[in-house]
Amino acid sequence: MPATLLMLPPQTATTREWAARLATALPDLSIVVAEDAAAAGRAVAAADAAFGAMPPDLLRRASRLRWLQAPQAAPPAGYYYVAGQPLRNVVDKARWF
């Protein structure tokens, strides 16, 4: 079963392009580009990784999540929270070279 990456809303032309480039480079990776909160809610339970800001209600349903990628190098205050989840997930920040 391939890993699933959930790209959380809001989407931009840039994030949609990143998703397309990832799909080309990693054909075994399943990529879900959630255009709104409802789409993210439908996909979060199957996500192994996510890119973006994940609100507490989604985090509680992210039973397979192993990696949460912050959408910027300095996420806003409150981004790093546990919300009752065991510390088994990786939360990372973007690094631009």
Q: Is there a domain that residue 43 lies in?
A: yes
Q: Is there a domain that residue 12 lies in?
A: yes
Question: In angstroms, rounded to a whole number, what is the distance separating the alpha carbons of residues 8 and 16?
Answer: 11
Q: Is there a domain that residue 9 lies in?
A: yes
What rounded mean pLDDT belongs to the chain? 85
Has residue 95 got a pLDDT over 60? no
Write down the pLDDT at residue 80: 67
Q: Is there a domain that residue 50 lies in?
A: yes
Question: In angstroms, rounded to a whole number, what is the distance separating the alpha carbons of residues 2 and 25?
Answer: 14
Q: Is there a domain that residue 30 lies in?
A: no
Question: In angstroms, rounded to a whole number, what is the distance separating the alpha carbons of residues 68 and 81?
Answer: 12
Share of the chain above pLDDT 70, in %: 78
Regarding predicted confidence, which is higher, 2 or 41?
Answer: 41
Taking the CA of residue 61 as centre, how many other CA atoms within 13 Å lie in the half-sphere pointing to its CB? 11
Q: Is there a domain that residue 67 lies in?
A: yes
Instruction: Summarize pLDDT for 48-60 with one digit per residue, the tens.
Output: 999 998 888 898 8
The strand pairing partners of 70, in sequence order, are: none
Instruction: Summarize pLDDT for 73-86 with one digit per residue, the tens.
Output: 777 777 666 555 54
Tally of domains in the chain:
1
Question: In angstroms, rounded to a whole number, what is the distance separating the alpha carbons of residues 15 and 30?
Answer: 15
Residue 87 binned pLDDT confidence (cut-offs 50, 70, 90): very low
Write down the pLDDT at residue 70: 83
The model's pTM: 0.81
Q: Is there a domain that residue 60 lies in?
A: yes
Q: Is there a domain that residue 2 lies in?
A: yes
Range of the domain at 4: 1-20+36-72
